[in-house]
Amino acid sequence: DSGVTQTPKHLITATGQRVTLRCSPRSGDLSVYWYQQSLDQGLQFLIQYYNGEERAKGNILERFSAQQFPDLHSELNLSSLELGDSALYFCASSVPKGSSGRSSYNEQFFGPGTRLTVL
Amino acid sequence: AQKVTQAQTEISVVEKEDVTLDCVYETRDTTYYLFWYKQPPSGELVFLIRRNSFDEQNEISGRYSWNFQKSTSSFNFTITASQVVDSAVYFCALTGGYQGAQKLVFGQGTRLTINP
């Protein structure tokens, strides 16, 4: 158990709908990363938040947005869903409170993922 | 830009055979980190190893071993005496990353099937 939780575990919805995926990082971790694993794109980085602020952005569609709240949990919002958005969405956390976030490397701990199916 | 290539899409072997999963990477960073993750059928990502660019020592952990060669930009993974439980998709990943922004760049993965 990595200590990172994601809800829900499975989500089935229809095209055009909007969903919210939730991630609770490990206790004390300040940084949250979102990744998408789809059949055609593989595993790719979407976005990173650090202590409430966006830190890095990857191949995230404009229909997708994320935020990190003061309690450090994060939500990934997916809107106007298309069939191609069906994927496994992972959240990872790193950088414990008290560290500068500028060390050589901060281990990423992955959650179990949310499997989204768009019908 | 960073890139990871796992040329082997699928590998199938018989139990107890040795198998090597190839990983070739591209990066302009002088400091970087390489990883292997395992994804069993249940779907979670299981961290196996991290190696930084300054440490080219090979590593062995039980039946697992890793060969890091900077000269060929490769970080290959060998399973000795494979077992059915080793069946999974294996991902090689790379990050450079400074100041806490360390996204992982993954290869396409190699699906390994160990047949009894």
> Chain B within 8 Å of A52 (Cβ-Cβ)?
no
Burial degree of B65 (CB within 10 A; 0-12, 13-18, 19+): middle
- Name the residue among B57, B92, B56 with its Cα closest to residue B71: B56
Is B50 near chain A, with CB under 8 Å?
yes
Q: Which residue of B has its CA nearest to A94?
A: B100
- Give me the pLDDT at residue A17, please: 98
**pLDDT score for B101:** 57
- Residue B103's pLDDT band, with cuts at 50, 70 and 90, is confident
Tens digits of residue pLDDT in A41-91? 899 999 999 999 999 899 899 999 999 999 999 999 999 999 999 999 999
- Adjacent-strand bridge partners of B85: none
Quick one: average pLDDT of B23-46?
92
- Taking only the tens place, the pLDDT of each residue in A31-44 is 999 999 998 889 99
pLDDT for position A119: 96
Q: Report whether pLDDT(B91) > 70.
A: yes
The pLDDT value recorded for residue A96 is 72
When pLDDT is averaged across residues A16-45 and rounded to a whole number, the result is: 94
| pLDDT at position B96 | 77
Residue A60: C-alpha distances to residues A45, A65, A103, B9, B102 (Å): 8, 8, 26, 25, 16
Least CB-CB distance to B100: which of A44, A92, A101? A101
Q: With a cut of 70, say whether residue A12 has pLDDT above it.
A: yes
Interface probe, candidates B29, B53, B103, chain A, greatest A C-beta count within 10 A: B103
pLDDT of residue A85: 96
